[in-house]
Chain A
Amino acid sequence: MFNFKHEWIEKNVGLMLIATMVAISIGGLVEIAPLFFIKETVEKVDGVRPYTPLESRGRDIYVREGCYLCHSQMIRPFRDEALRYGHYSLSAESRYDHPFQWGSKRTGPDLARVGMKYSNDWHVQHLIDPKSMVPPSVMPRYPWLLTTALDYSDVAERLKALRQVGVPYSLTQGEYDRNVKDFGADVARTLHIPDAQKNLIAQAQAGNFDGDRSNVSEMDALVAYLQVLGTMVDFSKYDNDEFVKFR
């Protein structure tokens, strides 16, 4: 008969290491793994779409500059946050975020609903010199964003990478047709990878985010991204009673 002795583990570092990892990972698995299978935690809302090529590059810059170190993108369901930032964030709203930008470490304000709250002009000036717009701010200056041209040569490859992890950017006609069905033709066009560069330039020209149409700067991309944050879901169409069921 198998005779287990605790001494085996205590006297064998390798075995102890494995046993410790197994014990710890049980906690992780129990807490995390079910979330991949529970369908009823992601709210069913219309309007959430993957980022356009320009917004996606803006998001890359957001991550590159480490904005997430001070800014979260998750409004929690608390009264003070609801009053200051707006409606609490839904899981559905970050379903295409890889990686997500949740968090509770806030040196600066939460940005989950900063989209369309301020003008492009404000964002540009604020990024160049935050103190000029908000005197008590401790945010660093990012003046190079305006003077650095956006490198969009690899934007198609970046979207392909996101497609690999499940973001519905389209490569084939079939995928494009599916996006037309899911998001409408206007959005589907912006998600088509073969047209990524063309779409990126077109959006930068039309949006004129940095106030200069002659080129596409990193500022264009970042402001385009900031201006779409939290604007995809029209909350006037939904009852909060519905969202309550998902937690």
Chain B
Amino acid sequence: MSQQKPQTVQTTGHVWDEDLQEYNNPLPSWWLMGFYATVVMSLIYWMIYPAWPVGKHFTTGFGTVTYVNDKGVEKSPHWSTRAQLMKDMNEAEKLQKPYFDKVAATSFEQISKDPELTSFVNSAGKAIFSDNCAPCHQSGGQGKVGYFPNLADDDWLYGGSHDKIQETIAKGRNGYMPAFKEVLSSEQLDNLAHYVASLSGEKADAARVRAGDALFHGDAAACYYCHDNSGKGRQVIGSANLTDKIWLWADVPAQDSAEDKVAAIRQVIANGLNRGVMPAWETRLKPEQIKLLTAYVHALGGGAK
């Protein structure tokens, strides 16, 4: 500690409770200079940036931001966070543009053969997928049985070609199956469920399978109309392939007994589906982003020709 210099300090002149006084120490000059500097700064700030309201408008300041708008026209309005954003986006777009242009100009087949483009598709695609697709289809595209289809396998409701995937992303999809409990008896629903189980090789009652077969291909239930005579579904309308072991709505593989597997199928036939809605992304994503995402989803593992 340095020795305190003896000094005479004035008091404020107030006296409380007979003898309580207050020293009047002036502010240090460095502090005071700092304070005046902030006042000067605020004046400069007012002149550069939008600051004071004046009637129905406000002072916009002399500062400007230069950006290039969507139409390629350069603009220099007064400084604002919105103009600054346009400028920031310009910088990002400038860096990504060569790659997006190349993706847009290259066929899907060529993209997968170009290591540089593939690496761009994988990194940019992962970002877009995580933000937009992962909440439903999960982070690896593995989907969720009972809710959202797996994108990493080679089973596709609406088709797994590049074109079909692109169409699905851009336009969205609407899954629908009528509730057959409205038109079929409980017995008929049982028979159908047994038949559908048998299509993918699950254990089923032979007599019920025969009866269900007739219903499936007959006019009472007319399942063949959507799921095709073969039961393999029609990708044009997004009806499921019933002959494979992959299930979206009825969680057949998770059931232990043959009865429970049939019951899971019966439940879907009885109640139908008014779900399976995929939103349309063309209003949210740019065409080149959708193309890139298509390549990404196709490459998740199950892309078809």
Whether both chains belong to one complex is answered with yes
Q: Taking beta carbons and an 8 Å cutoff, which residues of A are in contact with B?
A: 7, 10, 34-35, 37-41, 76-79, 82-84, 86, 88, 116-122, 125-126, 132-135, 208, 211, 236, 239-241, 243-247
Most buried by B among A86, A117, A236: A117
User: What is the bound-complex CA distance between A111 and B161, given in angstroms?
Assistant: 33
User: What is the bound-complex CA distance between A126 and B136, given in angstroms?
Assistant: 10
- Classify the secondary structure of B's interface with A: mixed
CB contacts (< 8 Å) of A35 on chain B: these are: 53
User: What is the bound-complex CA distance between A122 and B53, given in angstroms?
Assistant: 45
Besides A116-B279, A132-B144, 9 other A-B contacts (C-beta < 8 A): A37-B53, A37-B55, A39-B56, A82-B85, A118-B136, A122-B135, A208-B274, A241-B75, A247-B83
Which of B75, B132, B138 contacts A117, CB < 8 Å?
B132
B277 within 8 A of A: yes
CB contacts (< 8 Å) of B94 on chain A: these are: none
B238 within 8 A of A: no
Given known A121-B147, A125-B147, A211-B275, contact A244–B136 (CB-CB < 8 A): no
Q: Which residue of A is nearest B84, CB measured?
A: A77
Least Cβ distance of B49 to chain A in Å?
10
Given known A119-B277, A119-B279, contact A240–B82 (CB-CB < 8 A): yes
CB contacts (< 8 Å) of A133 on chain B: these are: 135-136, 144, 147
B29 within 8 A of A: no
Most buried by B among A39, A125, A135, A240: A240
Question: A78 and B85: CB pair below 8 A?
Answer: yes
Q: What are some 12 contacts across the A-B interface (CB < 8 A)?
A: A37-B55, A38-B56, A78-B81, A118-B279, A119-B275, A119-B277, A119-B279, A122-B135, A134-B134, A240-B86, A244-B82, A245-B77
Least Cβ distance of B240 to chain A in Å?
16
Given known A10-B14, A240-B86, contact A76–B81 (CB-CB < 8 A): yes
CB contacts (< 8 Å) of B14 on chain A: these are: 7, 10
Q: Which residue of A is nearest B281, CB measured?
A: A117
Question: B135 and A244: CB pair below 8 A?
Answer: no
CB contacts (< 8 Å) of B56 on chain A: these are: 37-40
Question: A244 and B80: CB pair below 8 A?
Answer: yes
Question: B274 and A211: CB pair below 8 A?
Answer: yes
Question: A40 and B57: CB pair below 8 A?
Answer: yes
CB contacts (< 8 Å) of B86 on chain A: these are: 240, 244
- Which residues in chain B, 124-161, are within 8 Å of chain A measured between CB atoms? 131-132, 134-136, 138, 144, 147-148
What per-residue 1/0 map shows which CB atoms of B31-75 lie under 8 Å from chain A?
000000000000000000010010111100000000001100001
Which of B75, B82, B278, B284 contacts A247, CB < 8 Å?
B82
Which of B82, B134, B144, B278 contacts A119, CB < 8 Å?
B278
Question: B58 and A38: CB pair below 8 A?
Answer: yes
Given known A211-B275, A240-B70, A247-B80, contact A119–B136 (CB-CB < 8 A): yes
CB contacts (< 8 Å) of A247 on chain B: these are: 50, 80-83
Q: Which residue of B is nearest A245, CB measured?
A: B77
Least Cβ distance of B300 to chain A in Å?
18
Q: Which residue of B is nearest A134, CB measured?
A: B135
User: What is the bound-complex CA distance between A208 and B275, given in angstroms?
Assistant: 10
User: What is the bound-complex CA distance between A217 and B110, given in angstroms?
Assistant: 51
B236 within 8 A of A: no
B9 within 8 A of A: no
What per-residue 1/0 map shows which CB atoms of B230-260 lie under 8 Å from chain A?
0000000000000000000000000000000
Question: A243 and B277: CB pair below 8 A?
Answer: no
CB contacts (< 8 Å) of B57 on chain A: these are: 38, 40
B163 within 8 A of A: no
Least Cβ distance of B246 to chain A in Å?
19
Q: Which residue of B is nearest A41, CB measured?
A: B58
Q: Which residue of B is nearest A115, CB measured?
A: B279
Question: A79 and B135: CB pair below 8 A?
Answer: no
User: What is the bound-complex CA distance between A239 and B73, given in angstroms?
Assistant: 12
CB contacts (< 8 Å) of B284 on chain A: these are: 86, 117
